[in-house]
């Protein structure tokens, strides 16, 4: 391919709406174009990368006995009704009606479609286990698409579904899939991706993991133990608080705390440590509007997703009405309306002496002790873990907080879909049972953007050989120099003859402009043909990451380049 014919514009200025480098570079490099909020068209370089990534995924899925299928993008809403998700999933599920007024949805994940496809096939135990997967367009009507291909509304995804007759079999397969994912990320050029424990969210099921590329620009917060192997999404990381008693047991006492409506103000005013204050956080249930109040240690933050899992339904930040009896800034556990659902975090368990709100403006109680002052209460974990917090596995105060981009996820779904959708098989002993499912996703576009995020410099992406849009970028610095041009033309032809993937720049432009375009395209091997080199009967070979720079003899160029392609394509 000649770069003069490559459709798409490359330019220098960083677009002002790009918050992360990969987004900016992929816009600047002519990789994609904005069509609508969270919706992009992809130009040829991206499409070439995507096809290579898809092929890597396909090979690894086939290796673990996956069978590639294709589910529809547009699905009848009735399928989602069967699983119960037509109701339970929010606005991200795009619902519409067709010309005959049939309710439909755009597939954002395909558990229902997978069960529908194999419901008849999987009627006897001998057919199990099996795994089916697809690589297909999905639509998720995200409220806040951002960061280019990282969070979009329309995206290509590999989603796989496995079916088993026992939990053990699922776990064995889950483990094979974990390893296949490791190979995929390694082959795609981001072996540094880590596996973290995850919250299953709307997918259902118990155990799930996410694959995270650690980067400060990631959307997800992670807790990683520096003393052991523990890694978890913050949403799923168990918060453990030592609850040391810094203050002695005391009597409950109503005290005036004028104008002290934040936890920091109260602690300062009463001269108690933050750990001896009790914070209240107010939410409302999405469906009914019922208030939910969580009490937790004043030095901790609430984890909204943990709280949502405890409540078992969608919640959102509360609007506190006059007649609710809730006194913002002074909320305490005593004397709240019975209509309010109250949740106690484990961080206040066993603390002798807490400051809590008195449900009265400008008043708090001191000396509060939950076990003593409240009827039998159940403590749950709804607090976020903290930097330096206690690791739930090794018990050391060694948690570190990081950020990451989720590049893949795997779930043990259990029988949520098979049971709700009435998929049954007859077991060896003649019993009818619901198969146990797992599901396994990778967003293709997000993976591509993540590789760019992990591997770039100020001038452009540095694509790994295995997924690069082209393998070799030939720059003819002086097309008006006949010797130069003839050699470059010949090299371009010869490289194509040996099936190298070449992009060739024979435009009459400044070397600087030529090199910035090459940087933006991020092709691993650059070959520079210039009059100066020609005089010495050689060309210059430079890798995009600058690790290799060498002059090679004109006659050896093709074989040297071929060898370098193999060398860089280690996986």
Look up residue 58 and give its DSSP letter.
H
Cα dist from 447 to 212, 312, 504, whole Å: 10, 31, 27
Tell me which long-range contacts 189-195 makes (C-beta under 8 A, separation of at least 24).
189/451, 189/454, 189/455, 189/463, 189/464, 189/466, 189/467, 190/407, 190/450, 190/451, 190/454, 190/455, 192/454, 193/407, 193/408, 194/224, 194/231, 194/404, 195/231
- The answer to the question of residue 12 lying near its own copies (CB under 8 A) is no
User: Using CB under 8 A, which of 81, 84, 86, 130 touches its own copies?
Assistant: 130
User: Using CB under 8 A, which of 26, 28, 40, 315 touches its own copies?
Assistant: 40
Piece in contact with its own copies (CB under 8 A), picked from 61-69, 318-326, 404-412, 542-550: 61-69
CA distance 318 to 105: 30
CB of 94 to its own copies, least distance (A): 7
- The answer to the question of residue 67 lying near its own copies (CB under 8 A) is yes
Quick one: residue 123, left, alpha or beta (phi over 0 = left, psi -120 to 50 = alpha)?
alpha
Piece in contact with its own copies (CB under 8 A), picked from 37-45, 192-200, 493-501, 530-538: 37-45
- Residue 15 or 388 with smaller CB distance to its own copies: 15
Q: Are 514 and 507 in contact (CB under 8 A)?
A: yes
CB of 134 to its own copies, least distance (A): 8
Question: In a 3-state reduction of DSSP, which class is residue 68?
Answer: strand
Q: Which two tokens stand for residue 261?
A: 């409506």
Tell me the site size for its own copies, rule CB under 8 A.
Answer: 60
Cα dist from 431 to 125, 163, 366, 374, whole Å: 10, 17, 61, 49
- Residue 117 or 361 with smaller CB distance to its own copies: 117
User: Using CB under 8 A, which of 73, 194, 217, 509 touches its own copies?
Assistant: 73
Ordered alpha helix ranges (H), 206-317: 263-270, 304-311
Q: Are 7 and 43 in contact (CB under 8 A)?
A: yes
Q: Which two tokens stand for residue 372?
A: 């003593």
Contacts (Cβ under 8 Å, ≥6 apart) of 29: 10, 45, 460, 461, 520, 521, 522
CB of 143 to its own copies, least distance (A): 7
Q: Are 156 and 449 in contact (CB under 8 A)?
A: no
CA distance 268 to 499: 72
Question: In a 3-state reduction of DSSP, which class is residue 399?
Answer: strand
The phi and psi torsions of 284 (rounded to 5 degrees) equal -130, 145
User: Using CB under 8 A, which of 19, 35, 320, 493 touches its own copies?
Assistant: 35
CB of 116 to its own copies, least distance (A): 6
Chain position carrying tokens 């709804």: 382
- The answer to the question of residue 143 lying near its own copies (CB under 8 A) is yes
- The answer to the question of residue 31 lying near its own copies (CB under 8 A) is no
- The answer to the question of residue 5 lying near its own copies (CB under 8 A) is yes
Cα dist from 54 to 42, 158, 159, 421, 485, whole Å: 15, 8, 12, 30, 36
User: Using CB under 8 A, which of 136, 276, 277, 297 touches its own copies?
Assistant: 136
User: Using CB under 8 A, which of 15, 17, 63, 68 touches its own copies?
Assistant: 68
User: Using CB under 8 A, which of 12, 16, 101, 120 touches its own copies?
Assistant: 120
- The answer to the question of residue 98 lying near its own copies (CB under 8 A) is yes
Element (DSSP H or E) covering residue 75: strand 74-76
User: Using CB under 8 A, which of 65, 175, 192, 555 touches its own copies?
Assistant: 65
- The answer to the question of residue 50 lying near its own copies (CB under 8 A) is yes
CA distance 12 to 188: 27
CA distance 524 to 408: 25
CB of 106 to its own copies, least distance (A): 7
- Residue 115 or 434 with smaller CB distance to its own copies: 115
- The answer to the question of residue 87 lying near its own copies (CB under 8 A) is no
Chain position carrying tokens 């019922």: 290
User: Using CB under 8 A, which of 17, 63, 96, 320 touches its own copies?
Assistant: 96
CA distance 394 to 125: 40
Q: Are 416 and 207 in contact (CB under 8 A)?
A: no
Q: Are 171 and 436 in contact (CB under 8 A)?
A: no
- Residue 200 or 418 with smaller CB distance to its own copies: 418
- The answer to the question of residue 473 lying near its own copies (CB under 8 A) is no
CB of 56 to its own copies, least distance (A): 15
- Residue 156 or 257 with smaller CB distance to its own copies: 156
- Residue 55 or 562 with smaller CB distance to its own copies: 55
- The answer to the question of residue 118 lying near its own copies (CB under 8 A) is yes
CB of 397 to its own copies, least distance (A): 43
- Residue 35 or 328 with smaller CB distance to its own copies: 35
The phi and psi torsions of 563 (rounded to 5 degrees) equal -65, -40
CB of 485 to its own copies, least distance (A): 18
CB of 273 to its own copies, least distance (A): 44
- The answer to the question of residue 317 lying near its own copies (CB under 8 A) is no
User: Using CB under 8 A, which of 61, 64, 75, 356 touches its own copies?
Assistant: 75
- The answer to the question of residue 94 lying near its own copies (CB under 8 A) is yes
Q: Which residues in the 156-215 window bind its own copies by CB under 8 A?
A: 156
User: Using CB under 8 A, which of 33, 63, 268, 372 touches its own copies?
Assistant: 33
By CB under 8 A, name the binding residues for its own copies. 1, 5-9, 33, 35-37, 39-44, 46-48, 50-51, 65, 67-76, 79, 91-92, 94, 96, 98-100, 102, 104, 106, 113, 116-118, 120-121, 130, 132, 134, 136-137, 139, 141, 143, 153-154, 156
């Amino acid at each position: 391919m000649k770069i003069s014919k490559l459709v798409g514009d490359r330019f220098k200025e960083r677009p002002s709406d790009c918050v992360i480098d990969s987004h900016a570079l992929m816009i600047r490099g002519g990789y994609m174009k904005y069509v609508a909020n969270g919706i992009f068209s992809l130009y040829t370089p991206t499409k070439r990368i995507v096809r290579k990534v898809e092929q890597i995924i396909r090979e690894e899925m086939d290796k673990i006995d996956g069978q590639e299928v294709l589910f529809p993008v547009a699905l009848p809403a009735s399928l989602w009704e069967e699983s119960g998700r037509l109701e339970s999933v929010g606005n991200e599920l795009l619902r519409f009606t067709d010309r005959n007024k049939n309710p439909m949805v755009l597939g954002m994940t395909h558990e229902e479609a997978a069960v529908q496809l194999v419901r008849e096939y999987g009627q006897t135990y001998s057919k199990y286990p099996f795994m089916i997967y697809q690589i297909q367009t999905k639509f998720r009507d995200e409220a806040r698409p951002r960061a280019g291909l990282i969070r979009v509304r329309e995206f290509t995804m590999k989603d796989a579904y496995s079916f088993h007759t026992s939990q053990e079999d699922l776990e064995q397969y889950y483990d094979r899939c974990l390893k296949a994912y490791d190979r995929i990320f390694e082959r795609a050029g981001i072996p540094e991706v880590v596996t973290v424990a995850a919250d299953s969210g709307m997918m259902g099921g118990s155990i799930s993991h996410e694959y995270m590329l650690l980067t400060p620009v990631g959307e997800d917060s992670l807790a990683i133990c520096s003393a052991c192997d523990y890694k978890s999404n913050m949403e799923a990381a168990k918060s453990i608080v030592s609850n040391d008693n810094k203050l002695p047991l005391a009597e409950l006492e109503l005290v005036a705390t004028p104008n002290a409506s934040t936890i920091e103000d109260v602690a300062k005013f009463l001269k108690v440590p933050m750990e001896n204050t009790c914070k209240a956080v107010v939410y409302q249930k999405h469906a009914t509007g019922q208030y939910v109040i969580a009490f937790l240690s004043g030095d901790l933050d609430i984890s909204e997703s943990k709280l949502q899992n405890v409540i078992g339904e969608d919640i959102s930040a509360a609007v506190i009405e006059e007649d609710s009896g809730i006194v913002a800034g002074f909320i305490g556990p005593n004397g709240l309306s019975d209509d309010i659902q109250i949740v106690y975090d484990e961080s206040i368990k066993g603390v002798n002496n807490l400051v809590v709100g008195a449900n009265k403006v400008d008043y708090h109680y001191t000396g509060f002790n939950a076990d003593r002052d409240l009827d039998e209460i159940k403590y749950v974990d709804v607090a976020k873990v903290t930097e330096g917090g206690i690791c739930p596995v090794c018990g050391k105060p060694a948690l570190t907080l990081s950020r990451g981009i989720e590049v893949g996820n795997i779930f043990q779904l259990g029988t949520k879909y098979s049971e709700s959708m009435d998929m049954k098989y007859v077991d060896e002993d003649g019993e009818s049972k619901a198969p146990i499912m797992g599901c396994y996703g990778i967003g293709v576009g997000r993976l591509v953007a993540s590789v760019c995020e992990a591997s770039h410099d100020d001038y452009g992406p540095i694509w790994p050989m295995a997924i690069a849009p082209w393998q070799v970028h030939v720059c003819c610095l002086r097309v008006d120099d006949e010797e130069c041009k003839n050699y470059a033309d010949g090299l371009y032809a010869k490289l194509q003859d040996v099936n190298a993937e070449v992009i060739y720049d024979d435009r009459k432009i400044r070397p600087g402009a030529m090199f910035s375009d090459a940087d933006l395209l991020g092709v691993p091997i650059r070959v520079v043909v210039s009059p100066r080199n020609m005089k010495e009967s050689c060309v210059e070979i430079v890798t995009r990451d600058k690790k290799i720079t060498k002059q090679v003899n004109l006659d050896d160029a093709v074989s040297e380049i071929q060898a370098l392609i193999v060398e860089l394509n280690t996986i």
